[in-house]
Amino acid sequence: MIDELFTISTLIGILHSCVRLATPYLFASLGETFGQRSGVLNLGVDGIMLMGAFFAFYAVFEGHNLWVGVLVAIAVGILMGLLKAFVSVTMQSLQGISGIGLYLFGLGLSSLLFKTLIGSVEGVSGFRQLAIPLLSDIPGLGHILFNHNALVYLAYIMVPVSWFVINRTTLGLKIRAVGHNPEAADTLGVSVNGVRYTTLMIGGALAAVAGASLSIGLQNVFQENMTNGLGFIAVALVYFGSWRTVGVLGGSLLFSLVNALQLWVQALDIPVPSEVAVMMPYIMTIVVLAFTARQIQKPAALARSYERGE
Amino acid sequence: MGTGQRRFEDRIVYGIASPTGGHRAVNFRLNAPYVQMYGIVKRFPGVLACDHVDFDVRRGELHALLGENGAGKSTLMRILYGLYQPEEGRILRDGAEVTIHSPTDAIRQGIGMIHQHFMLVDTLTVTENVALGLKSSREPLLDLGRVEAGIRELSEAYGLQIDPRAPVWTLSVGERQRVEIMKALYRGAAMLILDEPTAVLTPQEVDELFVTLGYMKENGYSLVLISHKLQEVLAISDRITVLREGRLVGTVPTEEMTRHELARMMVGRDVMLERTRDDEIDVGDVKLRLKDVRAHDVTGQPALRGVSLSVQSSEILGVAGISGNGQRELAEVIAGLRPLSGGSVEMDGMPITDWTTARRTESGLAYIPEERMHDGIVRDFAVSENLVLQEHTSEKFSNGIFLAFDYIARYSRQMIQDFYIKTPDIRTMTRNLSGGNIQRLILARELSRQPKVLVAAQPTRGIDIGAIEYIYQQLLEQRDKGMATLLISEDLDELLALCDRIAVIFEGQIMDILDRDETTAEGLGLLMAGVHPEKQ
């Protein structure tokens, strides 16, 4: 049975799943990259994802267009980002603790709204496969890379877009400066709090889209706590990727590959206890963080609130 | 606001080349006041930091602002730069009243400030640091090419050698200072406030800085030099304003002043900083010996690469060097805070390489750490708690598992008296004391134990002249009593005043060890830069 895992068609299937399943990781960890580069650690990503997932699903469930669902999720994500910014930037609470608070808030509220407004597990028809003409006809590779839904493509487009914003715009320069030396940025008239509010709103919007990509893109249902801690892995991926967008891309693909393998191992009925298979990405998170987190690129002011003083 | 900044940028980039000379600093009437401050009052909780202070700077003038720590000189300049708001007073620029609420306002008034702790983002390049916070010519995209061209032109015009593409973390301290000056120039500053700019430089870098400042002065820039070093103030300033305890003592033309008169204005009484050492004392046995000591820094890079030296009783051995050449690691290795990767340390003839810090202290080692706020005291402890921190388990200060509070209180009061520590009470939180008083506290704790060996790292950095005088006195007194001292300092005047011999450290190695009598500041400066005159 284990041989089945190594047939060409299975391998293509696994790689296709890998590209597809990287979508929520990419959105969420790119968003988190913005926040962390500006010095704010947001552990509430998972909570924002759940809120985004719910609202996108609910909009579609109520008969709205899929893109309206995405926009609703973005709006909710921005609000969640603002909440995080108010608590950790304006009120200067400890970033780690307030992030966990935000996560629990998102988890609780999305469950409550789900029970009140929908009640039972329902399905919707989410984003459809959108094969790119010609490119998707390439044998093997075409199916792996160019036969996905719109949100999957969008996630990959966000990689160079994020890189460009961080490295080639005045906003990006401010983000990098504020994350490394907020005092220096402040003396040059850069609003440290303004930059951090901006990055947290961007991060919130992307985390919410990550959630939407689950509920109306990949799984097309909403369930309580459907992210299963995926948002925390997204935070870990930012460390894994050394705060660089390319690193985050690599990390996301690695994790989704493990995820895809896990799914296929189960689907092919290979005799590995399903619990072990499900544990694989999480074990991987710990191992990877323990051995590869390079601190060299770390924003020096990460998780430190800024107050103008001496 | 945006267009204002844009205009500065345009003028700088095109101004130098244009025959009409768009530079603001070029169009000046020499000696006309650029900035005037009248009756400035600033209060902090419990302190009157500035008490109706008047101050003015002329165009084409280098005006020194002199005073001890806490005299209010930095506060006054921070008000001018918009970092603090004054309670009372007026600020005029070119004769017209202005309000400055933020550094952005100050920059718009042509005022730039070079902070003592550089305000640079290490991970960014020189160009990115200069461009930060400015409107780009093609918002929202960066236009680093254009900024780089502007930097190159200013570089040439004012003799500020910098590579615009270098990341700041690769630059030396002197180069970083040039980046700071460049930031201000690029923003169209006509006036520069320099907060203790020479504190971190080698003698050669100081000379280079003074050449640049002289050149800027000729071009009509107004310069304010905040300092407590009498020598350099006398050497390069045109006028001197002295502040003491928040009040203006006076503004005087430099050529009419002597070092002695200035010190008196600053402290309010006569000061003895000159050596009062007794050269007749004979040095005795070797108390501290390092043999081929090797150690790594926090990042795992080799920081000490085979250091050998020895200090005898009744001797002060100085260690000169530019910050970051292994001094910190050297002190920590002796104190037992950093493991050796090779070599050995001996105290009083005994190998102590593997001893814990506690055992070293009990056996007669005293340590004055470089980061006094961080390593020297616990900031949120009371003065009395910090005074007994080292020996709190000794019989003197404890009864079994309990602290002997009555005795600790009596002892603390005695220490406060003996070491002239200015504190409202022995229960006062130590963080509320001034730098000089914290250093007196550490001195009291370390020296009252009658140590055999003292390692003092930058003991007078950033503290006022009165406290410095006292520390010098104590070090020399203990030396006469037989203590062996290793004095690590970046202040060459201090080393030349106190030491019997001076070792120069460069990149983790001892370049040479010289007798004080055969040493000059210039000679030390070369060694500190890694140049050995005899080995060339």
pLDDT 10s digits, A80-94: 999 999 999 999 888
Residue B29 in tokens: 């009437």
B142 to chain A: closest CA residue: A169
d(CA A53, CA A75): 12
Identity of the amino acid at A104: L
Q: What is the mean pLDDT of residues A206-210?
A: 98
Residue B413 in tokens: 């009061």
Q: Which has the closest alpha carbon to A38: A191, A158, A159? A: A191
Domain that holds residue A158: 2-120+151-292
Q: Out of A170, A176, A177, whose CB is closest to B136?
A: A170
The predicted pLDDT at position A1 comes to 56
Query: Which residues of chain A have a Cβ shorter than 8 Å from any chain B Cβ?
Result: 168-174, 176-177, 180-181, 183-190, 300, 308
**How many C-beta neighbours within 10 Å does residue B385 have?**
19
Do strands B350-351 and B342-347 pair parallel, antiparallel, or not at all (unpaired)? antiparallel
d(CA B214, CA B232): 13
d(CA A262, CA A277): 5
d(CA B459, CA B472): 10
Q: Does position A198 have pLDDT exceeding 80, yes or no? A: yes
Question: Do the chains contact at A183 and B141, CB–CB below 8 Å?
Answer: no
Residue B291 in tokens: 């043999």
Q: What is the pLDDT of residues A141-193, one digit of tens each?
A: 999 999 999 999 999 999 999 999 999 999 999 999 999 999 999 888 899 99
Question: Do the chains contact at B128 and A170, CB–CB below 8 Å?
Answer: no
Collect all residues of chain A within an 8 Å Cβ-Cβ radius of residue B141. Answer: 168-170
Please give the model's pTM, rounded to 2 decimal places: 0.74
d(CA B276, CA A257): 75
Q: What is the mean pLDDT of residues A265-269?
A: 81
The predicted pLDDT at position B6 comes to 35
Collect all residues of chain B within an 8 Å Cβ-Cβ radius of residue A184. Answer: 118-121, 129, 132
Most B CBs within 10 Å, among A174, A183, A187, A193, to test the B interface:
A187
Question: Do the chains contact at A170 and B139, CB–CB below 8 Å?
Answer: yes
The predicted pLDDT at position B4 comes to 37
Q: What is the pLDDT of residues B526-536, one digit of tens each?
A: 888 788 766 55
CA distances from B420 to A26, A42, A294, B466 (A): 62, 49, 48, 11
Question: Do the chains contact at B133 and A190, CB–CB below 8 Å?
Answer: yes
Output Rg (C-alpha) for chain B, integer angstroms: 25
Place of tokens 């309000």: B99
Residue B178 in tokens: 């040039």
B5 to chain A: closest CA residue: A189
| pLDDT-wise least confident of A38-52, A230-244, B355-369, B426-440 | B426-440
List Cβ neighbours of B362 (8 Å cut-off, separation of 6 or more): none
Q: Are B186 and B150 in contact (CB under 8 A)?
A: yes
Place of tokens 């202005």: B98
Question: Do the chains contact at A188 and B133, CB–CB below 8 Å?
Answer: yes
CATH number at residue A94: 1.10.3470
Collect all residues of chain A within an 8 Å Cβ-Cβ radius of residue B120. Answer: 181, 184
Q: Do B2-267 and B286-364+451-535 come out as alike in CATH topology?
A: yes
A177 to chain B: closest CA residue: B121
The predicted pLDDT at position B292 comes to 94
The predicted pLDDT at position A160 comes to 97
d(CA A219, CA A292): 31
Residues of chain B where predicted confidence (pLDDT) is lower than 70: 1-30, 46, 270-281, 533-536
List Cβ neighbours of B64 (8 Å cut-off, separation of 6 or more): B224, B225, B226, B227, B233, B236, B237, B239, B240, B241, B254
* Domain-located, residue A310: no
Interface check B140 vs A, CB under 8 A: yes
Question: Do the chains contact at B104 and A186, CB–CB below 8 Å?
Answer: no
The predicted pLDDT at position B7 comes to 36
* Domain-located, residue A139: no
Helices A150-168/A192-213 angle, 10° precision: 160
Place of tokens 């390692």: B455
DSSP labels, B140-198: TB--HHHHHHHHHHHHHHHT----TTSBGGGS-HHHHHHHHHHHHHHTT-SEEEEESTT
d(CA B496, CA B488): 12
Do strands B239-244 and B62-66 pair parallel, antiparallel, or not at all (unpaired)? parallel
The predicted pLDDT at position B8 comes to 37
Identify the three-state secondary structure at position B283. Answer: coil
Buried/exposed A18-36: b ≥16 CB within 10 Å, e otherwise: bbbbbbbbbbbbbbbbbbb
Instruction: Please count the structural domains in chain A.
Output: 1
**How many C-beta neighbours within 10 Å does residue B332 have?**
23
Question: Do the chains contact at B140 and A170, CB–CB below 8 Å?
Answer: yes
Sign of the Cα pseudo-torsion (A295, A300, A302, A303, in order): positive
The predicted pLDDT at position B12 comes to 35
Q: What is the mean pLDDT of residues A49-69?
A: 96
Q: Are B135 and A190 in contact (CB under 8 A)?
A: no
CA angle B147, A191, B194 (to 5 degrees): 60
In chain A, DSSP assigns E strands to 130-131, 147-148
Place of tokens 């070029």: B26
Q: Does position A227 have pLDDT exceeding 90, yes or no? A: yes
B140 upstream amide cis, omega within 30 of 0: yes
The HSE-up count of residue A160 (CA atoms within 13 Å, CB side) is: 3
d(CA A82, CA A104): 16
Q: For domain B286-364+451-535, is the CATH number 3.40.50.300?
A: yes
- Per domain, the residue ranges of chain B are 2-267, 286-364+451-535
CA distances from A297 to A124, A234, B99, B187, B279 (A): 42, 18, 40, 29, 53
The predicted pLDDT at position A296 comes to 57
Collect all residues of chain B within an 8 Å Cβ-Cβ radius of residue A189. Answer: 102-104, 107, 133
Task: Calculate how close chain A gets to B103, using CA atoms only, in Å.
Answer: 6
List Cβ neighbours of B129 (8 Å cut-off, separation of 6 or more): A184, B120, B121, B168, B179, B183
Q: Out of A169, A186, A188, whose CB is closest to B142?
A: A169
A309 to chain B: closest CA residue: B83
The predicted pLDDT at position A6 comes to 73
**How many C-beta neighbours within 10 Å does residue B453 have?**
22
CA distances from A168 to B32, B123, B141 (A): 43, 15, 6
Residue A284 in tokens: 């991987």
Collect all residues of chain A within an 8 Å Cβ-Cβ radius of residue B131. Answer: 170, 173
What percent of chain A has a predicted confidence (pLDDT) above 70? 96
Task: Calculate how close chain B gets to A164, using CA atoms only, in Å.
Answer: 9
**Which CATH superfamily groups domain B2-267?**
P-loop containing nucleotide triphosphate hydrolases (3.40.50.300)
Q: Out of A168, A181, A189, whose CB is closest to B142?
A: A168
